[in-house]
Structure 1
Amino acid sequence: MADTEKANQALDDLFAAARETPVPLPKHLATAIMNDALVARAENLVPAPKQNRQSRTRLRAGAWRQLMIAIGGLPALGGLAAACAVGVWVGLAPPSFLPDPAQLVGYSNSTSVPYTSYDLAVVLGEEVQ
């Protein structure tokens, strides 16, 4: 146990000595950083050229590609399309335990609905009570 404490103390002393001595930035690295910064600044100061039709088409294609990446690719887009299709199907032909939205809105000639008004707020308010 004492051997590991001595080894840890020696390692801590080495780390403390390394922290105390600063490492200077090499001259060539500082020069390269400043050159990159000056080039980036010059690129930002130059006005952007007018876009022609081809570049606008490329931007549009890039936007679609970015949207596909954000969604998650073609498999995720397929799942999204399937979920939309199910939502439309349930909206148009709801299961028996859900009210028919066409009857609630008033597009049905059926007299089987026991409400005198087809106001959605009234119908939902009566169902809650």
Structure 2
Amino acid sequence: MSDDMSDLDRMLHAARAGRDDLPEALAQRMLADAAGVQASLARPAARPAAVAQDAWRGLLAALGGWRGMGGLATACAAGVWIGVAPPEFLPDPAQLVLGLESETETLGFYDLADFISEEG
């Protein structure tokens, strides 16, 4: 086992000591290939229509993407629903806008006194 380790140590030492440099021709071919790939990835100049589209995409991103737009649509639908059919504890917006007065019956002072004075 120690013989195998010494062989391994010798091989690793030889690998560390030897330096294999990249051949110059291979380096030139690699650089030429990289330049060709970079040239193919170059984007053309932006068109005005693309700028307008980017503005909409920027607005969509500012609102949180499609999830944010979904939440905004849900909030809008809930607001319309509450405006059309408000719950009992909210005033009716149609009555407020049109100036309609709703009549409510309240207990007068004497009626309330009679109600309280009755024994059970």
TM-score w.r.t. the length of structure 1 is 0.41
TM-score w.r.t. the length of structure 2 is 0.43
Which of structures 1 and 2 has the bigger CA Rg? 2
More RCO (CA 8 Å, sep 6+): 1
